[in-house]
Structure 1
Amino acid sequence: MTPETLARLTSLRHKLHQSPEISGEEKNTAAQIAELLEQHSPDRILKDIGGHGLAVLFDSGQAGPTVGIRCELDGLPIQEISDAPYVSRIPGKGHLCGHDGHMTMVLGVAEALGKSRPPDGKVVLIFQPAEETGQGAIAYRADPKFAEIAPDYMFSLHNLPGLDLGEVELCQGPANCASRGMRIVLKGKTSHAAAPQDGVSPAGALSQLIPVLADLGKGGALDADFALTTVTHASLGEATFGIAPGHAELWVTLRTVSDNRMSRLIQDAENLVQSVAKSEGLAVDISYDDIFEACTNNAEATEVLAQACAAQSVPCQMVSEPQRFSEDFGQFGKGAKSAMFWLGSGKDHPQLHNPDYDFPDALIPIGAGIFL
Structure 2
Amino acid sequence: MTPDTLARLTRLRHELHQTPELSGQEEQTAVRIADELRARGADQVLTGIGGHGVAGVFDSGQAGPTIAIRCELDGLPIQELSDAAHASRISGKGHLCGHDGHMVMVLGVADHLNQNRPQRGRVVLIFQPAEETGQGAIAYRADPKFSEILPDYVFSLHNLPGLALGNVQLCEGPANCASRGMKVVLTGKTSHAAAPQDGMSPADALALLMPQMAELGKGGPLDADFALTTVTHASLGEATFGVAPGQAELWVTLRTVADARMYSLIEEAEALVAQAASDQGLGFEITYEDVFEACVNASDAVDILSRSCTETGVQCEVTSTPQKFSEDFGQFGKDAKAAMLWLGSGVEHPQLHNPDYDFPDALIPVGIEIFVAAIQQVLSPINLR
Fold shared by both chains (TM-score > 0.5): yes
| Amino acid of the structure 1 residue aligned with 2:179 | S
Of the structure 1 ranges 29-38 and 93-102, higher mean CA displacement relative to structure 2 is found in 29-38
Q: How many Å separate the matches in 2 of 1:55 and 1:33?
A: 9
Per the alignment, residue 9 of structure 1 pairs with 9
Q: How many Å separate the matches in 2 of 1:219 and 1:265?
A: 12
Per the alignment, residue 249 of structure 2 pairs with 249
Per the alignment, residue 176 of structure 1 pairs with 176
State the 4+ residue runs in structure 1 displaced beyond 2 angstroms.
Answer: none
Q: How many Å separate the matches in 2 of 1:161 and 1:64?
A: 37
Per the alignment, residue 19 of structure 1 pairs with 19
Matched position secondary structure for 1:36 = helix
Gaps of 5+ in 1: none
Matched position secondary structure for 1:313 = coil
Deviation at residue 226 of structure 1 after TM alignment: 0.3
Q: How many Å separate the matches in 2 of 1:262 and 1:309?
A: 33
Deviation sequence 1:240-267 (CA, Å, 0-9, x none)? 0000000000000000000000000000
Deviation at residue 360 of structure 1 after TM alignment: 0.1
Q: How many Å separate the matches in 2 of 1:144 and 1:36?
A: 24
| Amino acid of the structure 1 residue aligned with 2:145 | K
Q: How many Å separate the matches in 2 of 1:338 and 1:36?
A: 25
Deviation sequence 1:8-28 (CA, Å, 0-9, x none)? 100000000000000000000
Deviation at residue 2 of structure 1 after TM alignment: 1.1
Per the alignment, residue 79 of structure 1 pairs with 79
Gaps of 5+ in 2: 373-385
| Amino acid of the structure 2 residue aligned with 1:291 | V
Q: How many Å separate the matches in 1 of 2:264 and 2:237?
A: 31
Deviation at residue 295 of structure 1 after TM alignment: 0.1
| Amino acid of the structure 2 residue aligned with 1:166 | G
Deviation sequence 1:160-200 (CA, Å, 0-9, x none)? 00000000000110000000000000000000000000000
Per the alignment, residue 233 of structure 2 pairs with 233
Per the alignment, residue 99 of structure 2 pairs with 99
Matched position secondary structure for 2:154 = strand
How big is the alpha-carbon RMSD for the aligned residues of Structure 1 and Structure 2? 0.5
Q: How many Å separate the matches in 1 of 2:36 and 2:54?
A: 12
Per the alignment, residue 165 of structure 1 pairs with 165
Deviation at residue 56 of structure 1 after TM alignment: 0.7
Per the alignment, residue 141 of structure 1 pairs with 141
Per the alignment, residue 323 of structure 1 pairs with 323
Matched position secondary structure for 1:364 = helix
Q: How many Å separate the matches in 1 of 2:240 and 2:272?
A: 30
Q: How many Å separate the matches in 1 of 2:25 and 2:177?
A: 26
1:285-364 matched pairs, under 5 angstroms:
285-364=285-364
Deviation at residue 41 of structure 1 after TM alignment: 1.4
Q: How many Å separate the matches in 2 of 1:84 and 1:56?
A: 31
| Amino acid of the structure 2 residue aligned with 1:204 | D
Scaled by the length of structure 2, the TM-score of the pair is 0.96
Deviation at residue 320 of structure 1 after TM alignment: 1.4
Q: How many Å separate the matches in 2 of 1:120 and 1:254?
A: 44
| Amino acid of the structure 1 residue aligned with 2:171 | C
Deviation sequence 1:104-123 (CA, Å, 0-9, x none)? 00000011101111121100
Of the structure 1 ranges 96-105 and 311-320, higher mean CA displacement relative to structure 2 is found in 311-320
Matched position secondary structure for 2:150 = coil
Q: Is 1:272 paired with 2:272?
A: yes
